[in-house]
Structure 1
Amino acid sequence: MGGQKLSVNLILILSFGILLFFLCIVVALSLYRASNVANILYQINDVNLVKQRYAINWRGSVHDRSIDVRDVALAKELSQVNQLEGDIKRLKDIYMEAEGKMNSNFKSANLLTSQESAIIKEIQQIKEQANPLIEELIRNKKAGASEDDVNNLVRKLAPLFTAWLSKINVLIDLEESLSDTLTDNLRESVESFSFLLLFLLFASLVIGISVIFIVISKFSKLLGGEPHITSQIVSEIASGNLSHKINYKHKTSMLASVADMQNKLHDMIRSIMNLSNDITESTDKVLSNSNQAQSASNEQNKLTQSIANRVYAINESIKQISLSAQLSEENATKSVDLSMQGTEAIQATEREIIKVTDLINTSSHNIKALQQQSIAISNSANLIAEITDQTNLLALNAAIEAARAGEHGRGFAVVADEVRKLAERTAHSTNEIFQIIRLIQSGITESVDSIEIIIPQIEKGQKFIADSVSILNEIQSQARDSLTKAQEVNTSSKHQEDAMQEITTSLQNISDLSEHTSQALNSTTQTIESLSSISRTLKQHTKHFKL
């Protein structure tokens, strides 16, 4: 088999197969010899002895008939002849019966040898010669033939009976000789078969003992020890005892494999115990961290919801600021329109004053008054500039507050309120400017009559009007700048409102994500608890083993 290992089944099959093979050989030879013995015994008992028995019956019939023939020849009374005739007939029937059986059982079945057939043929010929002479002798004897005739027939029959009996004896001797030969052959066959059986028995013992030693050696190599020891060790391992020391004879035996399995199982169980302890510690830490993370997630969820509520409030405040900025933009637009109208009116007044320059000479006093009113207009213009500066500063503060948002959102409402107040003051100042302009127009009307007197003053008035136009232009420019700033504040407020809306949406998403995170952490906590339970169960199971 080379380096291949034979299985237990193959070893048993080969060992018992060899024994069965020799047993089959013994049985086959025994059957063959028994068949030969049976054939020989059949030939002796059912063939030769039967033939011999038929031949003996023939001889008895012929012998007794020869005596009856002699008695017939010597008989004096007819009754004796008749009695002897009946006896001869009976003996003839016995002969014919044996002959018929010989023919039916052997001759027709081709069970006669050539020598037997030749002897039987000669006996048949003698019989055919003797039977007519016997019948003739009986007829002559009944007819009262002479003694000489009777004696002649007797003399003819005497050699025939002698030859007849002789041939029958030859057949009997032949059958006996054949039986003796078969008996000798049978004896020799039995003796030779006895020696053969003794040889096969010895060979079977040698081979059986060899097979037994080979099987024991193979099983010793396979098992490595006694089976009950192996069973006891396996039972110890099954009961969890891995500390038992295993001694084995062969490294490739089953006991060596069991020892290797015990060592590996010992290492594996110890590793499982260590891993179970590590898993238990890790799961406890992870479970603690998971609980902390879940608590933090819940707190984050609450804070996110609180921030969302505050952002919503800030968003509402920003909407109010945006509305105030929109109103400021509208007021600034009105201021720009009014300043433009004032500029146009002053320019018209200047054109009228130029037309009535000759009449202004008589209106010196009114021109002075106009000068004072121009000063008042200048003060109003300064006030408008101051208000514009305050408006710019408040708009800047409003932008900063909008960027900060948070808890300082209320300050933006104050700034927006100041913007509104400044816008009202700007409108009020613009109305004063319009009143002053109307007073100037009235003074110009009143001083028409005295224009000739106040020409120098009119020139100065023209200069003042030019300055007023310049101031109004600057007021218009500042009003436009206020309008631009108000528009920027309004736009920034809208952007801030959109940004706060996005922040609100993001916070809502964060809140949803926090909720999902909390649920995931809860599921993770349950999984970790399950893993911890499995680890403890595994640890409990490993306690079954004794290392």
Structure 2
Amino acid sequence: MRLNIMGKLMLGFGAVLLLMLGTCLFLIMQMRSMNNDFTGLIKLKAYAYGESNDALAHYNAAAAYLRQYILTRDEDLASRYQQSVKDGDDGLEKVAPLLERAEAKDLLQKFQAQAADFKQYGDQVISLIKASKSASEADRVKIEEQLAQHHQSHSGVVRNLTGAGTAFADFEKQVLDDGAGRTASRANRAIAISIILVAVTIVLGLLVAFIIARMITAPIRLVDAGAAKIAAGDLSGEGIDLKTKDETGRLAESFNTMLHNLKEIVRHLQEKSDTLASSASELSASAQNVSAGASETASTISQVAGTVEQVTGNASHIAGMAEQAAVHAREGSEGIRNIRMQMDAIQQAAAGTGEVIRNLYETTSRITQIVELITHITDQTNLLALNAAIEAARAGEHGRGFAVVAEEVRQLAEQSAGAAKEIYALITTIQQESQKAVQSMEMSVARVENGVQVVEEVGLTFERIIEAVQKLAGEIREVAAAAEEMSSAVQNVAAAAEEQTAAMEEVSSTTQNLAGLAGELDTLAGHFKLA
């Protein structure tokens, strides 16, 4: 039968209570037996002893009254004698039914026989004395002689009565003492047995308590030892194997479940700490790479900003030179009207090229548009300068000054083209549409060459040059303004890149802290021993 802790405790305490109950019942029985013995001793033996002593005392008193009566002839003494004898006889009659032993009964019979002799002796003495009182003098003398003879013949009757009464009383006293001794011995034996039973009850109670305590505390000690191992970080145990189905068994099952869950938590914690440390390392490396890339980007953007500033300066210089070229072109336009007609055709072709460039400007980024525009302008300027030089050579002396201006324009255009190529080299990654612009420029060049072939008059060409130079000056101004805007944008991008670099440094620092925390977490998980 499997009991829970309450059942075990109730069983143990019930066993102890049963032992105590048995002991109490035994003590009650012993006390009742001793009470019966004591009652018998008091009611029977002590009473018999007392009555025997009282009867002897009454008989002794009667003998004393009789002696006094013989001397005084007082009738009151005779009455007292008779009453004392009667009391003595009544006492012996009360004692007779209480006697159990034959020896006591024999002694009582002897006592009663001596009492009867004493009574006969006393009654005869009283009769003689009463007769003497009413007799004549002569008869009184005879009666007195009879009285003397009677007294002499019964001289030992009182002594015999006293001896028999004393013997009976002494025997009853001995019986009383023997009964008291037996009662005391039985009481002592009962006390000894009670002490033994109490001691046995205590020992058995302690034994039962020890067994039950061991049944209860042994599993608890196992659980306590397992909990101490867990507190020390040792999770390598296989749990507690208890066969009991009481509260301690359920406690052991709960402990085993807790141990299993702790093992799973620590394993999961170790795995996640390793993963966290690895992820933190990767994140730190990525942050460092991003930070390095951002720094490189900021450096590149700074270079682009410097180049843009240079382009802005060159564009401003080109605008000034274009204005000078326009002045010289207007001075020579009066003599070369025919050239202007051909330049109109060139202007139309250039206008078509400008339209293509504007379409390209709308479909590409702002920086690419500016670079392609600069490239287009520089190529156009070179072409125009070449055409102007050719026409100036044809014009002879009239076109010599214009040839010098065309050469300056060509050199400035070459410088702008060099700067544009440098910008193009720095931002090639964002110029995916540049090939379309190149093709469009080639088409423009082809048209201009076709226009040159049909130019009939140098004047028209110069007018075209004037218009083109004026337009070029405006576009160069736009380029300068755009370059300034691009410079501001590049500076903003540089600031953003620096902020990104700082943010990546913070991310790197945070990931390092995270890696440190992952290490601490792994160290903490390492404190637990799983196997």
TM-score (norm 2): 0.42
